[in-house]
Amino acid sequence: VLRNAVHVDEAEVEKCVRDVMKEKKIQQKDTGFKANLHISLLQISGYKKLYLNVENLRKVPYDSDNEDHEEQLIELWNLLMPHENLKARISKQWCDIGFQGDDPKTDFRGMGLLGLVNLVYFSKHYTDEARQILSRSNHPKLGYSYAIVGINLTEMAYSLLRNGALKSHLYNLVSGLPQMEHFHQFYCYLVYEFDKFWFEEEPESIMHFNQYREKFHEKIKGLLLDYDVVLTLQN
């Protein structure tokens, strides 16, 4: 019964709690135990469901014929560059916010739509911070490609979710079902902290990006080992 409990869907949690209490001969009137077990099972099943939702979004390729995809991309530009009009959909201007070429869709290949959704989320919910970090990313000596690094950090957040490293963080953050919103929030934390880390480390050049990215990754993994950890940006 206990082994099956960690694999239940949300709809089966209530029945599962009753079964566990019956099996372990715990009185139904022990409401404290019942409530805690209910929350724990919701968190466990919710984590798995969140991973599937994130994975499904990652599997959606960016499609320039999809109106919704295109609208999100233009929204990203408008959020980050409010005083500069995008002259054309295919444009060298995309490099100004850290894409590699004149059509950003090619940069979303690895993380699919998840990469774009994360970039837009950070720019929409932490607009001042996003513009500030974009400005810092244009530093003459310590600069980096804002959008490309953002997509790279989406991959980091995704891999930490996939291998279970985010469990303590999400379980401490949400007493119930973790949602996509909570994944986006963790991504925002990574973007903000990576920018601070990059400038503190003062790499010789962007050519050393992978080395410093790995160092940052190890730092985050270390923080996530704390059972009381909660890694969020405060609005």
Which of 20-24, 72-76, 93-97, 164-168 shows the lowest per-residue confidence on average (mean pLDDT)? 20-24
Domain boundary among 18, 38, 59: 59
- What is the reported pLDDT for 234? 67
Give tens-digit pLDDT for 93-150: 999 999 999 999 999 999 999 999 999 999 999 999 999 999 999 999 999 999 999 9
At 4, the pLDDT band (50, 70, 90 cuts) reads: confident
74, two tokens: 């233009």
Asked, for residue 70, whether it belongs to a domain, the answer is: yes
Q: Is residue 233 part of a domain?
A: no
Do 188 and 118 lie in one domain? The reply is yes
Q: Is residue 235 part of a domain?
A: no
> Is 197 found in the same domain as 115?
yes
Domain boundary among 27, 59, 91: 59
Do 113 and 58 form a contact (C-beta atoms < 8 A)? yes
- Examine residue 12 and state whether it is found in any structural domain, yes or no: yes
On whether both 109 and 218 belong to a single domain, the answer is yes
d(CA 218, CA 222): 6
pLDDT band at 6 (very low <50, low <70, confident <90, very high): confident
Where residue 202 falls (left for φ over 0; alpha for ψ -120 to 50; beta otherwise) is: left
68 and 54, same domain (yes or no): no
Mark residue 145 as left, alpha or beta (left: phi above 0; alpha: psi -120 to 50; beta: remaining).
beta
Residues 11 and 87 reside in one and the same domain: no
Same-domain pairing of 24 and 140: no
Are 22 and 75 in the same domain? no
**Confidence band (pLDDT; 50, 70, 90) for 235?**
low
Q: Is residue 230 part of a domain?
A: no
Please name the amino acid found at residue 78.
N
Counted domains in the chain: 2
91 and 108 fall within a common domain: yes
Instruction: Provide the whole-model pTM.
Output: 0.93
Q: Are residues 36 and 135 in the same domain?
A: no
Under the banding of pLDDT at 50, 70 and 90, the label for residue 75 is: very high
Q: Which two tokens stand for residue 66?
A: 């999809």
Q: Find how far residue 21's CA is from the centre of its chain.
A: 36
What range defines the domain where residue 36 resides? Answer: 1-59
Same domain, 114 and 187: yes
Are both 118 and 132 inside the same structural domain? yes
What is the rounded CA–CA span in Å between residue 95 and residue 119?
Answer: 15
